[in-house]
């Protein structure tokens, strides 16, 4: 139930929504039925407002409600699986600009957080902020050794303000969930949880610093992307000190041309960077709008990007990463049957969906695009259409995939701004194939085995005890299944066989890896080593061969 102290604020929010004619959603679907009587208390909207599309009206309403609501709208713009595309497009244009708080307060927060006077921490600290947003603002400073840095400082009382507004959002989500006839499709609780998670993450600047450090490490030797260094001695939950960089916003085409930078090479690098972050590193910048992506003005022949603001980063579960990569490859090859099979195999759709019907729907979406020259095909647009079509087949996607979709839209849009004639497909396909070949190669598999072998050896001796405990429970009738004596005896035999196979296979695997390393590192005249490998392989195969006692 909504606390009484929130009721006046809830009504204020509802009044703003009605003023901007967001109440048409209430009228059509009875989303917040108890508040419909506000119609009689409010003046009719101005014709200028009434004529705007619903997305624009919602954007204006959130702007009037305040910066935290603007931030919430930005987060919602990433959830295209839950809100209409036209609304998501409008919310993506929200600008998080608020008046700065006094520089003296920023200085006091830095000193209280880092435990030293600013004069001791920095050689200089400019109290006039470079930029100000709803969560934090940024000040220019200089380290004692002369290096230029920027200091990001959380706004005073921002945690309390966000908690209060999150309580309001939760109250509104509860109302929508109760009164909306299609609440199961809108999933207001999921929307609220997504906003709450993102806002709470941004309240810890140390998390943002850790994100930046990992991205910097991933591209430490890259000529395509530069990530500023984090100064951990001057960073904590409320303060982030980062190397200051200078660049050109990626959408400032005139400035990029004036600097003599090759825009075509830059656009192709942007596409490659997206696929490397997603499929090679599984860690991607998920807020890649031009304000956060700059171009290095000092690199004209071999241009590179500069990344900023690491509060929203994305990653995928390993399985989804594999299925998504295979979907991209199938799309590049126009293999619609493969796309349909992959969606079902990934578990993104229920098993009762017919693969031939899904294949036909995918073909209907994709085939018209392939009548155009490749340079005119928008991969992001195809993905959006596919997701929209797949929803008719009960598609269920994780939020990470929607975040990825939004990032792809940003990257492709930026690429076409830099080079309108860029062929996204021909740039992306070889990069993705190379990454997949490396990631799922025999060498990579051997490396994974080497990493997991100690864990396998650790748990192998515990398996008999675990199986014995389960068998005891089953024999006592406490398990979920009931077995007779004959079935239990078979399970005991199988238990011993599994234990033997695991121990022998682990031992054989260790020998195989050791022999392979010796053979790779030893003198070439040691011809007997391949025989050792063969013997170990035969032994492991024999150990894994099923025995007649193992049959149930």
The kind and range of the H/E element at 295 are: strand 293-295
Residue 445 neighbours by CB under 8 Å, 6+ apart: none
Per the annotation, the verdict on 423 as an active-site residue is no
Q: How far apart are CA 266 and CA 261, in angstroms?
A: 8
Q: How far apart are CA 193 and CA 399, in angstroms?
A: 11
Answer for the pair 138, 129: CB distance below 8 angstroms, yes or no: yes
Angle between helix axes 158-179 and 188-202 (nearest 10 degrees) is 170
Of 287, 296, 309, 320, the catalytic one is 287
Q: How far apart are CA 375 and CA 428, in angstroms?
A: 12
φ and ψ at 480, to 5 degrees? -75, -15
Sheet containing strand 248-249, edge to edge, reads 225-226, 305-307, 293-295, 248-249
Q: How far apart are CA 216 and CA 226, in angstroms?
A: 7
Q: Three-class SS string for 439-469?
A: HCCHHHHHHHHHHHHHHHHHHHHHHHHHHHH
Burial class (CB in 10 A: 0-12, 13-18, 19+), 478: exposed
Estimate to the nearest angstrom the gap between the alpha carbon of 293 and the chain centroid: 17
Answer for the pair 297, 246: CB distance below 8 angstroms, yes or no: yes
Tokens of 47: 């014709």
Neighbouring C-alpha atoms within 13 Å toward the C-beta of 105: 12
Tell me if residue 213 falls in helix, strand or coil: helix
Neighbouring C-alpha atoms within 13 Å toward the C-beta of 101: 19
Strand partners, 225: 305
User: Which residues does the annotation mark as catalytic?
Assistant: 287
């Amino acid at each position: 139930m909504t606390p009484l102290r929130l009721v006046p604020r809830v009504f204020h929010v509802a009044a703003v929504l009605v003023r901007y004619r967001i109440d048409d959603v209430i009228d059509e679907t009875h989303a917040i039925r108890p508040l419909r009587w506000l119609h009689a208390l409010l003046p009719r909207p101005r014709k200028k407002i009434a004529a705007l599309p619903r997305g624009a009206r919602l954007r204006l309403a959130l702007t009037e409600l305040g910066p935290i609501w603007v931030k919430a709208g930005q987060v919602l713009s990433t959830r295209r699986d839950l809100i209409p595309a036209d609304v998501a497009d409008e919310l993506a244009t929200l600008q998080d600009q608020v008046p700065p708080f006094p520089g003296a307060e920023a200085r006091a927060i830095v000193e209280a957080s880092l435990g030293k006077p600013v004069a001791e921490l920095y050689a200089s600290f400019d109290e006039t902020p470079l930029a100000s947003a709803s969560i934090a603002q940024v000040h220019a400073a200089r380290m004692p050794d002369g290096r230029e840095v920027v200091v990001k400082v959380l706004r005073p009382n921002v945690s309390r303000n966000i908690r209060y507004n999150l309580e309001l959002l939760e109250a509104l989500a509860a109302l929508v969930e109760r009164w909306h006839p299609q609440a199961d499709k809108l999933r207001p609780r999921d929307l609220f949880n997504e906003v709450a998670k993102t806002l709470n993450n941004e309240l810890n600047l140390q998390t943002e610093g850790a994100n930046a450090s990992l991205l910097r490490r991933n591209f430490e030797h890259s000529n395509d992307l530069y990530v500023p260094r984090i100064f951990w001695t001057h960073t904590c939950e409320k303060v982030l000190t980062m190397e200051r960089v200078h660049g050109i916003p990626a959408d400032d085409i005139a400035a990029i041309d004036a600097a003599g930078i090759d825009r075509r090479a830059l656009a192709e690098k942007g596409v490659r960077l997206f696929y490397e972050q997603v499929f090679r590193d599984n860690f991607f910048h998920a807020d890649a709008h031009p304000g956060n992506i700059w171009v290095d003005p000092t690199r004209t022949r071999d241009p590179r990007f500069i990344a900023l603001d690491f509060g929203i980063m994305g990653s995928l579960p390993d399985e989804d990463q594999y299925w998504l990569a295979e979907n991209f490859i199938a799309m590049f090859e126009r293999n619609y049957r493969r796309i349909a099979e992959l969606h079902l195999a990934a578990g993104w759709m229920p098993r009762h969906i017919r693969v031939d019907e899904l294949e036909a729907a995918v073909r209907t979406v994709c085939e018209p695009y392939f009548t155009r020259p490749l340079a005119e095909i928008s991969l992001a647009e195809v993905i959006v259409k596919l997701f929209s079509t797949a929803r008719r087949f009960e598609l269920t996607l994780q939020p990470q995939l929607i975040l990825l979709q939004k990032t792809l839209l940003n990257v492709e849009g930026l690429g076409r701004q830099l080079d309108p004639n860029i062929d996204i497909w021909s740039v992306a396909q070889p990069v993705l194939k190379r990454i997949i070949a490396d990631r799922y190669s025999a060498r990579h598999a051997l490396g994974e085995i080497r990493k997991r072998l100690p864990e396998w050896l650790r748990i192998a001796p515990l398996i008999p005890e675990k199986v014995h405990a389960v068998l005891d429970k089953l024999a006592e009738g406490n398990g979920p299944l009931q077995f007779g004596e004959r079935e239990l005896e078979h399970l005991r035999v199988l238990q011993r066989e599994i234990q033997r196979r695991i121990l022998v296979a682990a031992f054989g695997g260790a020998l195989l890896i050791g022999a392979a390393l010796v053979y790779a590192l030893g003198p070439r005249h040691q011809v007997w080593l391949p025989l050792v490998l063969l013997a170990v392989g035969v032994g492991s195969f024999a150990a894994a061969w099923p025995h007649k006692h193992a049959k149930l």
